[in-house]
C-alpha cells in the first residue's frame, strides 16, 4: 500500500509536492521526488536504516524531481547506498543529474520500466 508524503501537486506548499512511498523493513520505493520531498523524508525519518532505495520518477517537472539530487546525495554520503532510479528516458535524467552535480556512480539508472523492484 502506498503512503503519501505530499498531495499538494506543484503549488500547494502546505500539503507538499505529490509523492508516495512503500517501505518494507530496510527497503523503500519512492515515487517522485519534488522540491518538498527530501525535507519531508527527513522530518518523518523515512530514510533512516535504509539498505535499498528505489526511486520511480514519473516525469521531470520540478514538483517531481526538485529534490532528487538531495535524496541521491543523502543516500550516497549518509546511508552509503546506491539508489536505483527508474525512468524510461535515460539521457534526460542523466543530463539533469549531471547539471546539478550528481555523479553517475551515485545512482543506478534503470530505463526498463518492467523491472522487479522488491
- Evaluate if pTM is beyond 0.95: no
- What is the DSSP secondary-structure string of 68-113? HHHHHHHIIIII----EEE-S-HHHHHHHHHHTT--GGG-EEE--T
pLDDT in tens, 70-99: 999 999 999 999 999 999 999 999 999 999
pLDDT in tens, 14-30: 899 999 999 999 999 99
Contacts of 105 (CB under 8 A, 6+ apart): 82
Superfamily of domain 3-110: Ribonuclease Z/Hydroxyacylglutathione hydrolase-like (3.60.15.10)
Amino acid at each position: 500500500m502506498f503512503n503519501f508524503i505530499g498531495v499538494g501537486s506543484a503549488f500547494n506548499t502546505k500539503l507538499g509536492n505529490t509523492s508516495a512511498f512503500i517501505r518494507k523493513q530496510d527497503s523503500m520505493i519512492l515515487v517522485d521526488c519534488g522540491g518538498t520531498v527530501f525535507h519531508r523524508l527527513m522530518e518523518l525519518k523515512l530514510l533512516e536504516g535504509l539498505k535499498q532505495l528505489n526511486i520511480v520518477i514519473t516525469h521531470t517537472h520540478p514538483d517531481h524531481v526538485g529534490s532528487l539530487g538531495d535524496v541521491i546525495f543523502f543516500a550516497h554520503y549518509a546511508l552509503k547506498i546506491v539508489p536505483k532510479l527508474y525512468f524510461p528516458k535515460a539521457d534526460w535524467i542523466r543530463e539533469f543529474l549531471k547539471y546539478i552535480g550528481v555523479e553517475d556512480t551515485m545512482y543506478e539508472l534503470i530505463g526498463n520500466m518492467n523491472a522487479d523492484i522488491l
